[in-house]
Amino acid sequence: MSFEDGGFTRLRIASRSRRRLLALLGGLLATPHVHGQTNRRAAPGTPYAQVLPGTPLRFPRDEGSHPDFRTEWWYATGWLESARGPLGFQITFFRTRPELKLDNPSAFAPRQILIGHAALSDPAQRMLQHDQRVAREGFSLAGASPDRLEVWVDDWSLKQEGGVLRARIPARDFQFDLTLAATQSPMLQGDKGVSRKGPQPASASHYYSLPHLRTQGTLTRAGRTEILSGTAWLDHEWSSSYLDKDAAGWDWIGINLEDGGALMAFQMRTPQGGKFWAGGAHRAANGEQRVFEPGEVDFTPLRSWRSPRTGTEYPVAWRIRAAGLTIEVTPLMDDQENDTRASTGAIYWEGAVRALRDGAPIGRGYLELTGYWRRLRL
Amino acid sequence: MLAWLGATIQAVSAGALRDNPGRSALALLGVVLGVALGVAVHLVNASALNEFTLAVHSLSGESDLTIRGPRAGFDESAYPSVARLAQVHSASPAVESDAQLAGRRESIRIIGLDPFRAAQVQPRMFAAMENTVTGLFDPDAVLLSPSAAEWLGLNPGDTLRITVGTATVALKIAGLLPPGAYRQRIAVMDIAAAQWRLQRLGRINRIDLRLRPGTDVENFRRTLLPLLPAGTEAVTPDADIERSAELSRSYRLNLDMLALVALFTGAFLVFSTQVLSILRRRTQLALLRVLGLTRPALTGMLVAEGALLGMLGSTLGVVLGCALAAWVLKHFGGDLGAGYFRSVSADLQIAPAALAAYWLFGTAFAIVGAAVPAIEAGRRAPALALRAGDEEEGLNRLHTTWAGAGLIAAGLLLTLAPALNGLPVFGYAAIALILLGALLLMPRLTTLSLRRVPAWRFPPAMLAVAQLQATPRQVAISIGAIVTSFSLMVAMLIMVGSFRQSLDEWLTGMLPADIYLRAARGTDAGFLTPEQQENIAATPGVVRARFMRSRNILLAPERPPVTLLARPVDTTSGNLPLVSAPFTLPANAPPAVWISEATADLHGLHVGDELRLPIGAHPTMFTVAGIWRDYVRQTGSIVIDRESYIRMTGDRLANEAALWLAAGNTFAELEQALHLRLGAAAGIEISTSRQVRIESLALFDRTFAVTYALEIVAVLIGLFGVSVSFSAQALARRREFGVLRHIGMTRREIGMMLGCEGALVAALGVGFGLALGCLVSLILVQVINRQSFHWSIDLHVPWLALAALASVLVVAAIGTATWSGRRVMTGDAVRAVREDW
Amino acid sequence: MLSIRNLDKSYRGPGSRLMMRGISFELAAGEYVAIMGESGVGKSTLLNMIAGLDLPDQGSITFEGTELTTLDDNARTVLRRDRMGFVFQAFHLLPHLTVAQNVMLPLRLGGAAADKSARMALAMLEAVGIAALASTYPRELSGGEMQRVAIARALVHRPRLVLADEPTGNLDADSARQVLTVLREQIVHGTGAGILVTHSVAAARTTDRTYRLTAEGLQRCEEH
């Protein structure tokens, strides 16, 4: 049933150009942290809600789904300690609202598409393991609650249960059952939760993060269940805007710092590899938050790894300067390449990284690198 | 010595071929045609079936189980409840509809899928779909399979117009399905779009299930069944294929059998060729025996000749058959006329096993045909054979009367046996035995009847009768050739003629009104709403309107669905052609339904039985009040009074209307008025009952076209047989002709003599063939037809056609006989007389 | 009654070879002659040309004033049927007709009524001495008997000319003698003219005169 053999997301939904490398769904999978551009293709009668600066976020209501927006995701990444060392995991739920004539009264009408994606980075496996589930909303088989965090595709789910988040992911090669408990208040990104993604003011998202989630639970692989614990990071972001067509890809990090602080930074690259836009924020353990201007963030590649499968070269180690803070990130393992050509049509790198300052570890988090295989065009 | 003997044998064998290459060629052609026909029919059928199997597989993908409902579908709420079962890995719901193409008679199957779900059970279908789908979520978007696009002559970007209800829906062809995924003509839509556009909101037709590894499919199926809505079933894809294959199985077997008949006739040709060739060479063969060839060696040599003929003929036949099948598939598709594989465009599937089987059949038949006279030749005392005038003696030993009578008796007994596995196997066996028995009876019957031929005064006729009376066994072979082919032709003619006549009468009874109106012909998307029905009934010029609703229901999961026809029933006026005795419903019995013969046969129902039908909210009990004849729905149908149906289901839709025209109104006027009143009702088809009849009979004729073709070939082979035996005898009688010429008979008189012989032989053959054919036709009508198609036929003998055919055959035989004599007489009579053996 | 002038005949077929050249021959009514010669020299061919079954390449055959070579096949057949009789070496009786039916055949073909034909046939069988065998089939007869039947068949319609091709070739000496006697009797009694083609000097001696057919032509043998 997986993407690998299925390839259903090659269905080019609502696409004008067949040349588009990433379609709506694929684009969501590959571009979780960046939006761009105004919505040029909204069909008449399908008004997508727009991100309006100054709209306050209210919890727990805003933990739930925002079905009027084109896209939304809950993106949990983190590190887990196993008996044989640390593991990285990523559990994501996407919601997308296709451009439709909304008047189809069918219960099957694809009003919302829900996608679950999960990956496990185990250095012992040397390779990323991942799996997906996709379904249209309806019949209670897949959906996202607008009132609180509850999103599910078949038996994959992420939901608020008794004050903690519960993620149940029975994927093909591994099965997670994790609780993620908040230890800090939500970290509102950008301007009080409105995050700019490009030079155009309309290109923005509602975005908050939950860093330092205390994570506990089980991982079952090949019939063997391990009890694990660790720290995770949840991004929740919704928007109706897309990536600017001048951007070729992006780099993103989200790091839980050992001092209790949290760091998020991203840059969007031009086709030449230069910085197109950038942003991020640092929140100290005491809750003091510094939001970065585009000019304050610099990504400098330190070391590259070439994928033996695709020949793509990824800068897997970086020096990142964000305002006054300079850190280096190095991967948990080099090969955390996601080959989703069969599904999203994209190949990208996303994996667990360590953050170091002056050679000393200061935190752990996730790094995402896109647009290195081929230029991403949205 | 041995080498010399070997060379002599070769010379004798090769000499036989060289002496009469034409006759050997005819025998060869008989085998070639027989095998070729068998191979072609089999390959075409097998290719169509294989294609069909592939189609089912590509539709159901890797699903372990398919939940399937009637044509009208079942409530979609079944989907989430099934999908949530712990054993279910993935569930893919689908809407299926045969939608009529606007402005055309054909329909196309539209499948509405949830691509996300379908990808889980049909990965292969979606794997190759890169860049072909743009905007499947658009409710008007549709994907065509390449064969459908080719058939319709449409390309991506074009519009596909279909009829839904009585309105036309325009769909945009968003792309083509990958070539490998679907070979049949289908269109794919998003399930939501299909529900909406095809007016199927809330209903689905199918759920394909992939079960979690380790689930026992059969166990799960049993636990699933009680959870399913009424009228649905859960079948494995194989069962699905099996059921569909079963539908066409009888028809395919019929064609195979006809092809085998051609092969059998070909084998008989080998037999007669060999008999006559051995007779002609009897002194040479006797000489070989005198020279020291043992009896088995002689027999072996003669059998080998037949085997050679058989192998050569079979090889050519297999090659010709493959070519023929490829040609038929290319130009006519996999459907041989009956419509079972209408939407299948098949590629030739060469099945080596089947080819080998037909090759062996052909060779074995030829060997058997040669072995009978060869064994006889081996047994003959050489000294006797060396004497002239021994031709007839040589055949005396074929004592066959009792064996023939025994075979016929056995055949008649077999007709009492029931169908085996739904197939009339014993019926066919009975025909084979009776045919064989009749052939064995031929020498005796020929002798008896020739004795009764009066002595004629006209010298050529007198000579002809004397000749025939003197050689009854040789004559019997010629007669046998005619009987074999003519009896089968007669049987088929009577069967098809009876069927056609019965159908014609049935249509007359079933179409009492003047005009028939139907919504989107032959599909399930079309219907007339109650408002439209009122509108139709109120149209000026309509005296009376009767509406019918038809839908499919499942009576038994392992059987194909049965058509439920809700219509006014008036058993007294005979608007339902009942075949059962009148039956009065007991006072407190459940309401009445009338079942078709097929329903009665397939579901083992009798008049008075009670029956549960899944209509309405809950399955309801009914009483079988009668059995009627239905020539349309082979899988069975059930008639229910429309008033009761509406009371029970609330379903006021109708699919068809029968209209009675007011006096003074023409069809054209009413047609126009109806079109005007129903507005943009492109999906309404209006025809007169005459048109419907003509169309139905045309469909019937198309179905039997292949049958006719096969028959004609069998008859041709039979005529070859006559020609072979006549020309063989003409050759053997060259000397006699010479003597007659010396005595003073003119060529014309000799020709007349031969013509008389031909006429007599043909007349006898036709007579016996007619009698045998009538017997076989009874078996075809009463046993094979009934067991295959589950409907009865009234016997009608098309005497005129039979008489015409008989005359054609007699004339052909006279022509053949005269022609073969003329050929012989062109050689000079002088030399013939001097030939001393 | 029969006059042959300058008859040429070649074998048809590949490498056609001249068989006879310049044959001339006269036969008067009442004459019974023998023609002898080597095998393959064309004796039977000559007989067939006389019977109108074969045509010469050159020359004329006049039978009772009719030029045979100008007649068509049908006319020649009718002439043969009415005025000639044929006896073969291999008897050539029709196996599925009785002796009487065989003998009747020329009469019936000539249009005679059945009862008259039957009477004449029986008389003829009487004449050749096998009336008792009338209703038997040829295969039940000995060679001599069969040849008597053949003679009866050849003479039953009282032909003007009887053509006998090696009638004793298949018979033992005794039978041969009897057959030749019957033949001569019948020809001399009834018909008047006959030609006997034979190898046997003894047979030839039963005729009035003997001719020898060679490549050079037809010569009368004086030693007779």
Residues of B with Cβ-Cβ distance to A134 under 8 angstroms = 116
> Closest partner residue to B131 among A12, A110, A141, by Cβ?
A12
Strand partners, A133: A116
Neighbours of chain C (3+ CB pairs under 8 A): B
Determine whether the interchain pair B739/C88 forms a contact, defined as Cβ–Cβ distance below 8 Å.
Answer: yes
> Whose structure tokens read 């059952």?
A177
3-state secondary structure of B331: helix
Residues of B with Cβ-Cβ distance to C138 under 8 angstroms = 389
Per-residue pLDDT tens for B544-587? 888 988 887 777 766 777 888 898 887 666 678 888 888 888 88
Provide the pLDDT for residue C192: 73
Which residue from B minimizes the CA distance to A108? B192
> Closest partner residue to B127 among A5, A13, A140, by Cβ?
A5
Residue A378 lies in a domain: no
Q: What is the C-alpha to C-alpha distance for residues C113 and A96, in angstroms, rounded to an integer? A: 112
Is the per-residue pLDDT at B474 higher than 80? no
Is the per-residue pLDDT at C99 higher than 70? yes
Residues of A with Cβ-Cβ distance to B175 under 8 angstroms = none
> Closest partner residue to B137 among A107, A110, A139, by Cβ?
A110
C-alpha Rg value of chain A to the nearest Å: 19
Q: Touching check for A173 and chain B: CB below 8 Å?
A: no
Determine whether the interchain pair B743/C81 forms a contact, defined as Cβ–Cβ distance below 8 Å.
Answer: yes
Structure-model confidence comparison of residues B201 and B560, the more confident one: B201
Is the per-residue pLDDT at B370 higher than 60? yes
Query: Which H/E stretch holds residue B537?
Result: helix B530-537
Lowest-pLDDT range, B330-339, B396-405, B745-754, C126-135?
Answer: B330-339
Per-residue pLDDT tens for B785-797? 888 778 888 888 8
Determine whether the interchain pair B130/A7 forms a contact, defined as Cβ–Cβ distance below 8 Å.
Answer: yes
Provide the pLDDT for residue A372: 87
Q: Touching check for C53 and chain B: CB below 8 Å?
A: yes
Q: Where are the alpha helices (DSSP H) in B78-185?
A: 78-83, 115-121, 123-127, 146-152
CA distance B191 to chain A (A): 7
Question: Which range among A325-334, B21-30, B224-233, B812-821 has the greatest average pLDDT?
Answer: A325-334
Residue A219, domain CATH: 2.40.370.10
Residue A376 lies in a domain: no
3-state secondary structure of B216: coil
Q: Touching check for B82 and chain A: CB below 8 Å?
A: no
Q: 10 Å Cβ neighbour count for A224?
A: 7
Q: What is the C-alpha to C-alpha distance for residues A247 and A238, in angstroms, rounded to an integer? A: 20
**Domains with residue ranges and CATH for chain C:** 2-220 (3.40.50.300)
Provide the pLDDT for residue A102: 60
Range list of β-strands (E), B465-533: 515-519
Residues of C with Cβ-Cβ distance to B827 under 8 angstroms = none
Name the residue among B682, B688, B169, B265 with its Cα closest to residue B484.
B265
The pairing of beta strand C193-197 with beta strand C32-37: parallel
Residue A270 lies in a domain: yes
Range list of β-strands (E), A37-174: 71-82, 85-96, 113-121, 128-136, 142-144, 150-153, 156-161, 164-170
Range list of β-strands (E), A156-248: 156-161, 164-170, 175-181, 187-188, 194-196, 204-221, 224-239
Residue A300 lies in a domain: yes
Q: Touching check for B172 and chain A: CB below 8 Å?
A: no
> Closest partner residue to C109 among B743, B829, B830, by Cβ?
B743
Q: Any idea what DSSP says for residue B785?
A: I
- With helix as H, strand as E and coil as C, how does A282-307 read? EECCCCCEEEECHHHEEEEEEEEEEC
CA distance C84 to chain B (A): 8
Residue A61 lies in a domain: no
Provide the pLDDT for residue B683: 60
Q: Touching check for B180 and chain A: CB below 8 Å?
A: no
Per-residue pLDDT tens for B37-70? 888 878 877 776 666 666 666 565 667 888 887 7
Q: Touching check for A35 and chain B: CB below 8 Å?
A: no
pLDDT mean for each 10 residues of chain A (378 residues): 29 26 32 32 58 87 92 92 90 86 81 89 86 88 93 94 93 92 92 85 88 95 90 92 72 94 91 86 92 92 91 93 91 86 70 93 93 64
Q: Any idea what DSSP says for residue A63?
A: G
Which residue from C minimizes the CA distance to B737? C94
Map out the domains of chain B as residue ranges: 1-64+241-398, 72-235, 435-511+693-837, 521-682
Determine whether the interchain pair C74/B742 forms a contact, defined as Cβ–Cβ distance below 8 Å.
Answer: no
Q: Which letter, b or e, does each residue of B554-580 get, where b requires 16 or more Cβ atoms within 10 Å of its Cβ? A: bbeeebbbbbbbbbebeeeeebbbbeb
Q: Any idea what DSSP says for residue B134?
A: B
B220 neighbors B82 (Cβ within 8 angstroms): no
Per-residue pLDDT tens for B312-362? 989 999 999 888 888 877 776 655 555 555 555 556 767 788 889 889 988
CA distance B523 to chain A (A): 22
Determine whether the interchain pair B745/C81 forms a contact, defined as Cβ–Cβ distance below 8 Å.
Answer: yes
Sign of the torsion angle spanned by Cα atoms A358, A359, A360, A365: positive
Sign of the torsion angle spanned by Cα atoms C62, C67, C68, C69: positive
Residue A301 lies in a domain: yes
CA distance B137 to chain A (A): 7
Is the per-residue pLDDT at B256 higher than 80? no
Q: What is the C-alpha to C-alpha distance for residues C141 and B579, in angstroms, rounded to an integer? A: 70
Q: Nearest 5 degrees, angle CA B605-CA B608-CA B610?
A: 65
Structure-model confidence comparison of residues B500 and A258, the more confident one: A258
Phi-psi region of B500 (alpha: psi -120 to 50; beta: other; left: phi over 0): alpha
Q: List the structure tokens of C41.
A: 């020299």
Determine whether the interchain pair B742/C51 forms a contact, defined as Cβ–Cβ distance below 8 Å.
Answer: yes
A143 neighbors A72 (Cβ within 8 angstroms): no
The stretch B509-527 carries a mean pLDDT of 70
State which residues form the domain around A212: 3-38+70-369
CA distance A6 to chain B (A): 5
Provide the pLDDT for residue B270: 75
Per-residue pLDDT tens for B637-646? 899 999 888 9
DSSP string spanning B656-688? EEEEEEPTT--HHHHHHHHHHHT-S-TTEEEEE
Number of folded domains in chain A? 1
Which residue from C minimizes the CA distance to B742? C86
Is the per-residue pLDDT at C48 higher than 80? yes
Interface test with B, best of A11, A94, A103 (most B CBs within 10 A): A11
Contact present, A and B (at least 3 Cβ pairs less than 8 Å): yes
Residues of B with Cβ-Cβ distance to C142 under 8 angstroms = none
> Closest partner residue to C97 among B466, B745, B836, by Cβ?
B466
> Closest partner residue to B830 among C54, C77, C153, by Cβ?
C54
Residue A167 lies in a domain: yes
Contacts of B448 (CB under 8 A, 6+ apart): none
Q: List the structure tokens of A340.
A: 């989703």
> Whose structure tokens read 């002809």?
B464
Provide the pLDDT for residue B182: 66
Give ipTM to 2 decimals. Answer: 0.84
Query: Which H/E stretch holds residue B546?
Result: strand B542-553
Q: Where are the alpha helices (DSSP H) in B109-234?
A: 115-121, 123-127, 146-152, 191-197, 217-224
Neighbours of chain B (3+ CB pairs under 8 A): A, C
Strand partners, B136: none
CA distance B739 to chain C (A): 6
The stretch B490-501 carries a mean pLDDT of 84
Provide the pLDDT for residue B345: 55
> Closest partner residue to A11 among B83, B90, B133, by Cβ?
B133
3-state secondary structure of B335: coil
Q: Touching check for C96 and chain B: CB below 8 Å?
A: yes
- With helix as H, strand as E and coil as C, how does chain C read? CEEEEEEEEECCCCCCCEEEEEEEEEECCCCEEEEEECCCCCHHHHHHHHCCCCCCCEEEEEECCEEHHHCCHHHHHHHHHHHEEEECCCCCCCCCCCHHHHHHHHHHHCCCCHHHHHHHHHHHHHHHCCHHHCCCCHHHCCHHHHHHHHHHHHHCCCCCEEEEECCCCCCCHHHHHHHHHHHHHHHHHHHCEEEEECCCHHHHHCCCEEEEEECCEEEECCCC
The pairing of beta strand B515-519 with beta strand B656-661: antiparallel
Interface test with B, best of C54, C96, C105, C197 (most B CBs within 10 A): C96
CA distance C22 to chain B (A): 22
The stretch C78-85 carries a mean pLDDT of 86
Per-residue pLDDT tens for B687-745? 888 888 887 787 777 667 767 777 777 677 777 777 777 777 777 677 788 888 888 88
Chain A with chain B: Cβ pairs closer than 8 A: 98
Determine whether the interchain pair C88/B833 forms a contact, defined as Cβ–Cβ distance below 8 Å.
Answer: yes
